[in-house]
Amino acid sequence: MRHLEALVLTNSTTIPRILNWKVSTVSNVETIIEKLQQRPYKVLVISTEISESDKKKLYRLTSVLFENIILVEYTDDSNLEEAVKTAYWSNNKPGNSRNYLDNSFEIKLANRINSN
């Protein structure tokens, strides 16, 4: 099974774990840009303990250089795994929010409304 990859910007020295994800940690913006040019990470996670100037710099650079990357902020108290998975699947599975008609009455009614 191929693992999805997340890159975490944090000052913490512990390496977070996410099931079925390969997680790498870095401590500064310059290293993030280098790593993003080397590997196609799916999600970029930013800790709230990072300075506002670094966050702004990172948002600007990634919006120009890496359009498809998903940016997520998390607090060290929150669940990193939940934040990453929610952000990734909400961007890559938009069909989950669609409503499907499951009975014949709703289908007939919808067809009549659309045909008028």
Ordered by where they begin, the domains of the chain are: 4-115 (3.40.50)
pLDDT of residue 100: 58
Please state the pTM of the whole predicted model: 0.69
Classify 6 as helix, strand or coil.
strand
pLDDT of residue 83: 84
pLDDT of residue 116: 63
Q: Which residues pair with 47 in a beta bridge?
A: 74
Backbone φ and ψ of 77, nearest 5°: -80, -30
Across the chain, which has 116 residues, the per-10-residue mean pLDDT values are 80 76 88 90 88 90 87 78 83 62 71 76
- Side chain identity, residue 61: L
